[in-house]
Structure 1
Amino acid sequence: MVKQTKAYDNESITSLKGADRVRKRPSVIFGSDGLEGAKHTFFEVLSNSIDEAREGHGKEITVIRHADRSISVIDKGRGIPVEYNKAEARYNWELIFCELYAGGKYNNISGETYEYSLGLNGLGLCATQYSSEYMDVEIVRDGHLYALRFEKGENVGGLYKELTKQKKTGSTIKWRPDLDVFTDNAIPSEYFEEVLKRQAIVNKGLRFIYQDEKSNTTREYIYDNGIVDYLDEIAEDKRFTQIKHYSDEGTGRDRPDKPAYKVKVEMAFCFNNEVNLIEYYHNSSYLEHGGSPDKAVKSAFTAEIDQYIKKQNKYQKNEKKISFVDVQDSLVLVVNSFSTMTSYENQTKKAVTNKFIQDFMTEFIRKKLEVYLIENAEDAERIIDQILINKRSREKAESTRLNLKKALSSKTDLMSRVKKFVDCRTKDLDRREIYIVEGDSALGACKLARDSEFQALMPIRGKILNCLKADYDKIFKSEIIIDLIRVLGCGVEIKSKHAKEFDTFDLDSLNWDKVVICTDADVDGFQIRTLVLSMIYALMPTLIHEGKVFIAETPLYEISTGKKTLFAYSDKEKTELLQTVKGNYTLQRSKGLGENDPEMMWLTTMSPDTRRLIRIEPEDIERTERMFEVLLGDDLEGRKEFIEQYGYEYLDQLDLS
């Protein structure tokens, strides 16, 4: 049967008209037809109020998140002009709210109307109105109160106008993003708070009031000194240089045949090893992807600092030069720029693409940095020393990553390459157990005692590295540790900011249901057990969080009564057992694992019915981490205090023979 298709002819071509231009294709304007698009309607309306305030008309903007998911933006500007426009032969309210690409900012290259405007594309109010379930507008200007009502992109009732005694001008716009247009309009409170805080940062002295009807809360945002106050807040007292603030402005062109426009830039930065942040704003819009400012910053900081390092002869012989990531690791920076003509990547305004903005900012930053490094020799010394530390740490981490990848990557079975590893038969991950045992003798005893169906064995040859003190490069050169990682199969979790790419941990790749650490009940055994736990805690802490790690308790004493043998796992338990024994008995300290007979090993250590397993469950992660640091880390003073305070409790466990 031949499928019938509709003719494709001249009548097949149609165009969207009126509100349908937005309602049927919201992602073209707002970047998304989901929640992100609904969020952007708010930013479009807010942008117009910010432009008014920045021109000196009103220093306060109120935003209300209503309980019914509608939004209000209230400003104290001059009020939107909505009366009849003779030049256009239409009412301004029609142009502003019902006509895409209409507004008061198009003839603005030299900055006569709005010198530096956030909303330039003439889309915001109209596109938001078109995409709303309803929009109510109230404007006070020229001694009159004006009101407009829109429903699903259509005006209802025309323009309402009356005389008013209100002296304060301004605009109030209330709307609800339409669920016929967007798949979601439940904009979270956190989004409004983030946007308003960012706008307060880059519009110094402008007060934003946020009211959330749902939680009945009100918050205010204001930064009297703009980005300088923000950097001071972010960097706290952890910076190792002072905050520096520079600004400049100029005029130029993107191309010789293009019109000239103005650019204004301010930059604040400091260096900090604990807090790192780089943010770009242009005409108050937060540039998530940066664009021209980002390229300028990366180029200027890298070039100037590299040049200074060379002048100071700080590079080692044949050492590669720094990259921006080495600077970024210790940099806190905010760039706040404006221009009278702006080319955004798209309507969502997450990046700007102007060539002159990039060129102007690159030159501006290089000049300021050059002078700063010369005039602040002590700061400059600290900066370049830290950046070189960052660089060498990054390079070392990359070398470690490659070595680890090489050690763990092979088409053959990794576990088959581990010396003396003894696998079990079952492939059922819900049953498989791995016993990490102490030495070859314990391996031999456990091999005879285990259930080979589900119990595998991995011997530890000697004492492993303390992974809380060693760096990654040294850790991953340890054959024992690499073998343990191979056998466990789940990869490693890396905390280093230089080594995100070799964070390979995947819990689903763990080869075992239980990881059991089984060592002798003596000082050496306790130390080996602690070092293995430290390795797991340092390299794969999720195994502890998920309850996959256990300690197999081994008995301290054997009590033989002739007919049977009893086992005590502590001195207290020994005392209690002896009180129940009748007749003659012999008491002896339990042998090491390697000396125990298979039947005893199975009974006391490996049989699921009679063994004692202690699940490692750090109920308080911070406390656990602190104890690891005190006992095994670099906190020597903390370890000394701990021993002085609690050491007497462990005297009877010392092996002083």
Structure 2
Amino acid sequence: MADEQLPQAPHAYTEDSIRSLDWREHIRLRPGMYIGKLGDGSSPDDGIYILVKEVIDNSIDEHMMGYGRTIDIKIIDNQRVVVRDYGRGIPLGKVVDVVSKINTGGKYDSKVFQKSVGLNGVGTKAVNALSSNFVVQSVREGIMKAAEFQAGQLVSDPKPVKTSQRNGTMMAFEPDPAIFRNFKFKTEFLESQLWNYAYLNAGLTINFNGQKYHSERGLQDLLERKTDPETINYPIIRLMGEDIEIALTHGNDYGEEYYSFVNGQNTTQGGTHLAAFREGVVKTLREFYKKDYDASDIRASIVGAIAIRVQEPVFESQTKTKLGSILMEPDGATVRNFVVDFVKEHLDNYLHKNPETKEALQKRIERSERERKDMAGVKKLANQRAKKASLHNRKLRDCRFHFGEGSKDVEKEALTTLFITEGDSASGSITKSRNVETEAVFSLRGKPLNCFGMKKKIVYENEELNLLQHALNIEEGLEGLRYNRVVIATDADVDGMHIRLLLLTFFLQFFPDLVRNGHVYILETPLFRVRNKKTTIYCYDEREKQEAMRKLGRNPEITRFKGLGEISPDEFGRFIGDNIRLEPVILQSDRSIQKLLTYYMGKNTPARQEFIIENLRLEKDLITSDVLPVEEVAEADLA
């Protein structure tokens, strides 16, 4: 009997299956390993901002070593980034190597770069590989050396030439549109990033597109910019030590607000140093006041910042957003012990020397304690109702993956989204077209309650708001947040705008950290569908509609979508997939939440009346010169 033939594997695993990629190919094939998620610029942790950070970090490291007090940054046509420092400049013979050879750089020599952010020799190589065009230029003692790359490939390597320019390094790049699709830099995100650099490097001046960023008092300036002097309970406490700086105060907003940094890197996800800071504040205040206050009462409404510098920091990812557990050199103490001991000593001393702050701080803690106890009974009943409702909750259509649950698929966790919709028709369309792995839907029954000026007790008494906070799992803070993106999806009409404002009021009043940390977005949906027999174009404003009419020629069919419920599930799937348009809700760092809410959601104030009267425009005035009337579109088509 003949031997049986084994079935041929559809993808044979042979020597030909093994590939070796060079550094450039690997970065372009797996960019997420180097810069996190790609994104389109609508989120502060999108890849294009990581590219900017990686280049600026090198200039910051030069400043930290005592070379260069100014950094010039430009973004040209929202595409090209130019960063110029006035440090020592890259050694001329290594200009090409430091931006194109992995594990090549000056930061491996700890005698030259102490306590630097970039220690892995990857940063500028990733920028180079992920840019359609990348130029590096170094000036040292009257000699300039430059090189140019395209997608990481060297295309120009001229010989050094004489120059009258000052010493320093210039890097210019354009993110590759083939990798970063439809990207757009948001100035607000870059401004926040640059202010952080200024606060952490007192005396440094950063010039960005004509604006100056400069700080002399470090983290105290940061908190002054982030808080309203009329609402903080006592003057900002600033504590300075070798390799550590701390600032804190208490405001009146709900939640806790922290800004943490390691070697100048904004660790947006915290880590061991931030956990130790929070622990140290609780321990110190309990011992100082000799009362066993609840930790949540001590930290309620706190606004704090911590910055430490360590040799060879260990981060939990290439993007360096969370610090791991490390030892402090040279004494070998852990970061936790170092921070807790510092807070215990210096905060205790400060309170002994400042009796007015001591009294104000204790009053704030005891006020939080009273509010918590007053709410305890209502909270217990509300949680019991929410637990029962969750078993058969028709408001929430959940997804399979959740943010921060520790799954191996980090990219899917980053895409987890909760759409908050108005009414069953809109939620039905989204539910049928969503990605069930990463997209959930929460349906409102109408306009939610205007929460402005109310205590948090109302969240538990209002069934819909209570179910929403439980769906998000943010009752005790953002640590348990189940969705990375919270998307408000309402109709593009007056009622839809009102619901949007009511939801933003709810989040800003009771969960401001959700907005501050860039988790809240507005879903942009098309207003028009313009099509002929061959092509369909969806348009998000009047200008896009006019362009679509020009493109499709005479007599296209035009449909105006009045609400989300009118868009079929098949069409809806095209707007919430890869081509989703999300507008982030950005809270300006110098804006007071309470003043903002008072203006928009408070009683009919004179200031709001005056604004409406001054900006009232008649319908005929809204036709602007850059929008062509239909007749002109037809004439253009005839031509």
TM-score normalised by length of structure 2? 0.58
Distance, in Å, in 1 between the alignment partners of 2:76 and 2:236 is 39
Who is 1:248 aligned against? 241
Partner of 2:352: 374
Query: Percent same amino acid at aligned positions?
Result: 23
| C-alpha deviation, 1:198, in angstroms | 1.2
Could you list the per-position Cα deviations for residues 402-431 of structure 1 after superposition, in whole angstroms to 9, with x for gaps in the alignment?
2134457757999xxxxxxxxxxxxx999x
> What CA distance in whole angstroms lies between the structure 2 residues aligned with 1:397 and 1:387?
16
In the alignment of these two chains, the number of paired residues is: 419
Pairs within 5 Å for 1:368-517: 368-406=346-384
Alignment of 1:477-626 (within 5 A): 625-626=602-603
The CA deviation at 1:175 is 0.6
Judging changes above 3 Å, is the alpha-carbon distance between structure 1 residues 175 and 102 closer, same or farther for their aligned structure 2 residues? same
Change (3 A) 1:79 1:413: closer
Per-residue CA deviation, residues 541-599 of structure 1 (Å, 9 max, x unaligned), is xxxxxxxxxxxxxxxxxxxxxxxxxxxxxxxxxxxxxxxxxxxxxxxxxxxxxxxxxxx
CA distance in 2, matches of 1:468, 1:286: 32
Q: Is the 8 A contact 1:400 1:472 kept in 2?
A: no
The residue number in structure 2 matching 1:329 is 300
CA distance in 2, matches of 1:228, 1:69: 34
Residues 199-258 of structure 1: per-residue CA shift (max 9 Å, x gap): 1111111111111xxxxxx21111122222233333443333233322223xxxxxxxxx
Q: Distance in 2 between matches of 1:623 and 1:5?
A: 62
Q: Displacement of 1:177 after TM fit?
A: 1.0
Q: 1:228 aligns with which of 220, 224, 229?
A: 220
Offset at residue 70 of structure 1 (A): 1.3
Q: Distance in 1 between matches of 2:300 and 2:51?
A: 35
Please state whether the residue corresponding to 2:68 is helix, strand or coil. Answer: coil
Residue 52 in structure 1 maps to residue 44 in structure 2: no
The one-letter code sitting in structure 2 at the alignment partner of 1:383 is L
Q: Is the 8 A contact 2:71 2:85 kept in 1?
A: yes
SS at match of 1:380: helix
Which letter maps to 1:12?
A: S
2-side partners of 1:208 and 1:236: how far apart?
A: 25
CA shift in 2, pair 1:302/1:53, >3 Å: same
Q: Distance in 2 between matches of 1:475 and 1:491?
A: 5
- Give the CA deviation at 1:4: 4.2
Q: Which deviations, in whole Å up to 9, do the C-alpha atoms of 1:25-75 show, x marking residues without a partner?
A: 111111123341222111100100111122221111111111051111111
| Structure with max Cα Rg | 1
Name the CA shift for 1:188/1:3 in 2 (closer, same or farther; >3 Å): farther
Once the two structures are TM-superposed, the CA of residue 19 in structure 1 deviates from its matched residue by: 1.0
The aligned residue for residue 84 of structure 2 is 74
Query: For residues 60 and 507 of structure 1, what CA distance do their matches in structure 2 show?
Result: 41
- Matched position secondary structure for 1:342: coil
CA distance in structure 1 between the aligned counterparts of 2:251 and 2:506, rounded to whole angstroms: 27
Residues in 1 aligned to 2:118 and 2:375: alpha-carbon distance in whole angstroms: 45
Q: Which residue in the other structure is 1:616 paired with?
A: none
C-alpha distance in 1 between matches for 2:82 and 2:101:
21
Partner in structure 1 of residue 107 of structure 2: 105
Checking the alignment, whether the CA contact within 8 Å between 2:459 and 2:466 is kept in structure 1 is no
Query: SS in structure 1 opposite 2:72?
Result: strand
User: Structure 1 CA distance, aligned partners of 2:319 and 2:58?
Assistant: 15
Structure 2 runs not aligned, ≥5 long: 1-5, 41-45, 328-333, 394-422, 426-450, 479-486, 490-494, 496-504, 508-596, 606-639
Q: Which of 257, 263, 280 is the aligned partner of 1:283? A: 263
Once the two structures are superposed, what CA deviation does each residue of 1:113-152 show, in whole Å capped at 9, x if it has no partner? 1223122221111111111111112221132111111111
- 1:594-620 alpha-carbon deviations (Å, 9 max, x no partner): xxxxxxxxxxxxxxxxxxxxxxxxxx9
Using the alignment, how far apart are the partners of 1:161 and 1:539 within structure 2?
60
| Cα distance in structure 2, aligned partners of 1:226 and 1:470 | 35
Counterpart position of 1:454: none
Q: Which residue of 2 aligns with 1:273?
A: 252
Provide the C-alpha distance between the structure 2 equivalents of 1:623 and 1:267, rounded to a whole number of angstroms: 34
**TM-score when scaled to structure 1?**
0.57
CA–CA separation in structure 2 for the residues paired with 1:105 and 1:507: 45
Distance (whole Å) between structure 2 residues aligned to residue 375 and residue 285 of structure 1: 32
Tell me the residue number matched to 2:335: 357
Distance in 2 between the 1:144 and 1:152 partners?
A: 27
CA RMSD of aligned residues (A): 3.9
Where do residues 205-224 of structure 1 align in structure 2 (5 Å cutoff)?
205-211=203-209, 218-224=210-216
Partner of residue 7 from structure 1, selected from 9, 12, 17? 12
1:190–1:14: structure 2 CA closer, same or farther, 3 Å change rule? same
The 1:397–1:102 alpha-carbon spacing in structure 2 relative to 1, beyond 3 Å, is farther
What SS does structure 2 have at the residue aligned with 1:171?
strand
